[in-house]
């Protein structure tokens, strides 16, 4: 038998690891990379009569913005 099958038959499976979460890195239109400061989850956004749940990433843009 193969090594994998032998391990399953012996019930020596590796321990489950916890979910590390999801890391997010955003690339902006000018190709700069930013890391979110936080996430707002399940925010209700209303467009006319339609209400949509949405998630928003909070970015620290101080000093990096160009106002036109």
Beta carbons of 24 and 57 less than 8 angstroms apart? yes
Q: Quick check: is 22 in a domain?
A: no
Q: Determine, yes or no, domain membership for 46.
A: yes
- Condensed to tens digits (0 to 9), the pLDDT of residues 9-29 reads 566 667 777 766 667 888 888
Residue 51 in any domain: the answer is yes
Per the structure, the complete domain to which residue 56 belongs is given by 36-63
Cα 57–61–66 angle (5° rounding)?
A: 125
Q: Within 1-68, where are the H helices?
A: 3-9
Cα separation, 10 vs 6, in Å, equals 6
pLDDT for 35 equals: 85
Contacts of 36 (CB under 8 A, 6+ apart): 24, 26, 57, 58, 59
Check whether 66 has a pLDDT greater than 70: no
pTM of the prediction?
Answer: 0.50
Residue 25 included in any domain: no
């Amino acid at each position: 038998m193969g090594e994998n099958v032998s391990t399953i038959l012996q019930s020596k499976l590796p321990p489950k690891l916890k979910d590390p979460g999801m890391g997010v890195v955003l690339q902006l239109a000018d190709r700069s990379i930013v890391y979110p400061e936080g996430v707002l989850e399940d925010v209700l956004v209303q467009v006319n009569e339609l209400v949509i749940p949405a998630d928003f990433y909070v970015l620290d843009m101080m000093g990096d913005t160009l106002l036109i």
